[in-house]
Amino acid sequence: MNIDQEIQKLREEMPRPEAKGELIRTIQYRHQEKHTLKTIGKIGIPVALVAGAAMAATFFFAPTRALATPATVAKAIRSARDYVIRSFSIQGGKRTLISQTNVDGEKATRTYFDAEGKPVPESELPNISTNPLEGALIKLEGDEHSGQKHIVVTDSNGPEPKAGQQTIEVKVTRDQNGNEVRKYVVNGKEVDKLPAELEGKVHVNQSAGGQIEVEVNGSKEGSRSVTRKQASTVMVDKNGKITSFSSGKTTVEYLLKLLDDADRWNIERKVTFNGEQLDKFTLKGPFSPIELYVDPSTSLPKVLRFNAPMNGKSAAQIEDVYEYGTDTIPAR
Amino acid sequence: MILESRLALAERTTNQPGAPTDWVHQHYDDIYRFLKHLTRHTETAEDLAQQTFVQACQAIQNFRGDSSLKTWLHRIAFREYIAWRRKRKVTLPLDILRGRRDPAIEQVDDRVTLLGLLHQLPSGQRESFLMYEVQQLSIEEISTVTGVKPGTIKSHLHYARQKLQSLLNEAHQENPR
């Protein structure tokens, strides 16, 4: 072995090409918006919600001429056939395209864009299925906290911001047989098993042992930004099943689930949005992390906007814009 | 650094949205490489590199400009690494450790590599060697990054080279090819 040559090899080692773009997105997001969250995991792309929004947006079965309601919107979503959803981050008045999803029937194709706006094929993204899912299944609430490693997640059970905060520390040791032993520190108390109420909502994948501190900003915007990759934070359903962002269907179900509960929504009629008269759907409560703009004549979603609350006001946004193909035009 | 320069630095780094991303463009490869060689774990290196830059953005007001940005970022990265190293320590009986590999360490090549040999050295020697030879920091910069006196770093480098050569010789004797 030639030491000088080996040193030169070490000097030439490079990171993944995508890693820099992911970090830049994170920093831009934090820096420009002065976001209160401490970290936004590793990803950058609000994939899961994007997918859900996408499906939600497009499917659309021509509703009647009756006023758009959560039920008619849900029906439209379920009936939609082809559409394109473009997902933008809005920071400091600047809109940046972060992904585009083309849906044709059951097939959805999504392309991500890096910080420079160059398309990143999904095939080049780290495959979440290659990551061992060894994290804790936890439900997280709260606004923010600081720590060694932050993963912004959100309660998959609903989009409303919730008060309080929850810090989960995962301690990994090994028993005499070399088997991994996990203990969780919940609110300062070490337990062998997560409390039942914390299970089954959000999966936090721990890559290398040590401590995970999770910060939750009850905003869906925050969770969108955290969906994948090394420090994998993925949303799961009640049964702990991962909501794969490759299909996005589970996220659609997530949105549909919200729509299925009509009592959760406020509706403003004929709100002017981008020059159009649309129906604005928001969730009841002091702050709605979702704004859904619906075409009143078709009940088709036009724009789904996710707001990150900051001191009770909107601080950052992800905006999914839907464009429908001819197959989606409702037969009326 | 005079006040005006510090103000200019603060303005340059905090008021221009592009500035922090410029840091990433300029220094990410270096910082990632540094952390990758220290941890030998890709995901951990990326995690720590991200934390390094996020912390740098948050702490820019504390950057006095006494050292270069590169050195400052290395210092933050080194602290992140130390914190990670402390947290991941586990205590295992020797008979369990024998013949086992920590699964948290991926891509550890069984072949004789410089990095593999470096990780047989004491941490101070290994870290000094990596910073001096691979990261190409000066003795003074390494001192700033680690908080260790320059004389001690020189000593670390001396012993690191000596032990590396010794380990290399052993490896060649065991496997002449």
Same domain, B14 and B44: yes
Specify whether B127 is located in the same domain as B66.
no
Residues B17 and B61 occupy one common structural domain: yes
Phi, psi of A270 (to 5 degrees): 50, 50
**Contact between chains at A10 and B114 (C-beta distance less than 8 A):** yes
Range of the domain at B63: 1-101
- pLDDT for position A183: 66
Sheet holding A202-204, edge to edge: A136-138, A202-204, A233-235
- pLDDT, residue A297, reads 87
Of B77, B101, B125, the residue that ends a domain is B101
Instruction: Tell me: do B1 and B55 sit in the same domain.
Output: yes
Contact between B21 and A207 using a beta-carbon 8 Å cutoff: no
What is the least distance, in Å, from the CA of B1 to any CA of chain A?
A: 25
Contact yes or no for B87 and A207 at CB 8 A: no
Flag the least confident range among A113-117, A139-143, A277-281, A320-324: A139-143
Please give, rounded to a whole number of angstroms, the shortest distance from the CA of B20 to a CA of chain A. 7
Chain A partners within 8 Å of B30 (Cβ): none
Q: Model confidence over B49-67: pLDDT tens digits? A: 988 988 888 777 677 777 8
Banded pLDDT at A317 (limits 50, 70, 90): low
B110-126 pLDDT tens trace: 446 788 888 888 889 99
Position B152 pLDDT exceeds 70: yes
Instruction: Inspect the interface and report whether the beta carbons of A210 and B17 lie closer than 8 Å.
Output: no
Establish, for the pair of chains A and B, how many residue pairs have beta carbons separated by less than 8 Å: 124
Q: What is the CATH number of the domain that holds B173?
A: 1.10.10.10
Confidence band (pLDDT; 50, 70, 90) for A305? confident
Q: Are A292 and A280 in contact (CB under 8 A)?
A: yes
Quick check: A14 and B87 CB within 8 A?
A: no
Q: Range with the lowest mean pLDDT among A27-41, A75-89, A108-122? A: A27-41
pLDDT in tens, B19-44: 667 778 888 999 999 999 998 888 88
* Structure token pair of residue A61: 């079965």
| Together in a domain, B6 and B77 | yes
How far is the C-alpha of B108 from the C-alpha of B91, rounded, in Å?
Answer: 21
Chain B interface, best mutation among A8, A12, A13, A23, by max B CB count within 10 A:
A23
Same domain, B71 and B6: yes
Residue B7 sits in the same domain as residue B90 = yes
How would residue A182 be classed by pLDDT, with cut points 50, 70 and 90? low
> How much is the pLDDT for A105?
73
Domain count, chain B: 2
Q: Find the closest chain A residue to B114 by CA distance.
A: A6
> Are B32 and B52 in the same domain?
yes
Q: Which residues of A make CB contacts under 8 Å with B? A: 1, 3, 6-7, 9-11, 13-16, 19-20, 22-24, 26-28, 30-32, 38-39, 42, 92, 115, 148-149, 172-174, 176-178, 207-211, 230-231
- If you average pLDDT over residues A287-293, what whole number do you get? 77
Say if residues A102 and A324 touch (Cβ distance below 8 Å). no
Tokens of A257: 């689930």
Q: Cβ contact (<8 Å) for B47 and A230? A: yes
The distance of A319 to chain B (nearest Cα, Å) reads: 21
Residue A145 has a pLDDT of 28
Task: Please state, for a pLDDT cut of 90, what percent of chain A lies above it.
Answer: 4
Q: Compute CA distances A69 → A3, A141, A265, A292, A294, whole Å.
A: 70, 29, 9, 11, 9
**Given this model, what pLDDT does residue A180 score?**
60
Q: Residue A24: which of B24, B37, B84 has the nearest Cβ?
A: B24
Query: Nearest by CB to B21, which of A27, A207, A231?
Result: A27
Q: Over the stretch A3-26, which tens digit does the pLDDT of each residue have?
A: 888 888 888 888 887 777 777 777
Q: What are the residue boundaries of the structural domains of chain A, listed by start? A: 28-127+248-328, 129-228
Our measurement of the distance from residue B74's CA atom to the centroid of its chain's CA atoms, rounded to an integer in Å, reads 7
What pLDDT is stored for residue A264 in this prediction?
81
Which pLDDT tens digit goes with each residue over A22-58?
777 777 665 544 433 333 333 344 544 554 454 444 4
**CB within 8 Å: B113 and A6:** yes
Based on the domain organization, do B73 and B131 belong to the same domain? no
3 state SS of A113: strand
Mean pLDDT on A213-220:
35
Checking if the pLDDT of B78 tops 90, the result is yes
**B48 with B78, same domain?**
yes
- Contact yes or no for A208 and B43 at CB 8 A: yes
B133: chain A residues, CB-CB within 8 Å: 7, 10
Q: Is 90 exceeded by the pLDDT of residue A233?
A: no
Selecting from A38, A210, A231 the residue whose C-beta is nearest the C-beta of B87 gives A210
Compute the nearest-CA separation of B139 from chain A (Å). 18
Residue B72 and residue B122 share a domain: no
The C-alpha atoms of residue B49 and residue B58 are separated, in whole angstroms, by: 14
Question: Given B44, B104, B112, which is nearest A1 (Cβ)?
Answer: B112
Query: Residue B84, exposed/middle/buried by CB under 10 A (0-12, 13-18, 19+)?
Result: buried
Nearest-by-Cβ selection for A19 from B17, B32, B44: B32
CB contacts of A27 in chain B (<8 Å) are: 20-21, 24, 53-54, 57
Distance from CA of A2 to the nearest CA of B (A): 9
Say if the Cβ atoms of A208 and B49 lie within 8 Å: no
Q: Do B50 and A39 touch (CB under 8 A)?
A: yes
Confidence band of A77 (pLDDT split at 50, 70, 90): confident
User: What's the average model confidence in pLDDT over A166-172?
Assistant: 53
Shortest distance between the Cα of B147 and any Cα of chain A, in A, equals 21
Say if residues A220 and A153 touch (Cβ distance below 8 Å). Answer: no
Lowest average pLDDT, out of A219-223, B145-149, B153-157, goes to: A219-223
Confidence class for position B12, pLDDT limits 50, 70, 90: very low
Residues B119 and B95 in one domain: no
The residue with greater pLDDT, A194 or A46, is: A194
Angle between helices B3-14 and B18-39 (to 10 degrees): 90
Q: Do B17 and A230 touch (CB under 8 A)?
A: no
Confidence band for B130, pLDDT divided at 50, 70 and 90: very high
> A interface mutation test: which of B46, B53, B167, B169 has the most A CBs within 10 A?
B46
pLDDT value of residue A30: 58
Instruction: Name the amino acid, one letter, at A214.
Output: V
C-alpha to C-alpha distance for A214 and A150, rounded to whole angstroms? 5
Average pLDDT of the residues in A222-247? 30
The Cα–Cα gap between A246 and A39 comes to 24
| CA distance linking residue B148 with residue B151, whole number of Å | 8
Mean pLDDT of A267-296: 85
Helices then strands, counting H and E runs in chain A, come out as: 6, 17
Cβ contacts of residue A190 below 8 Å, gap of 6+? A171, A183, A184
**Average pLDDT for A224-231:** 26
Compute the distance between CA of residue B52 and CA of residue B46 in angstroms, rounded to an integer.
10
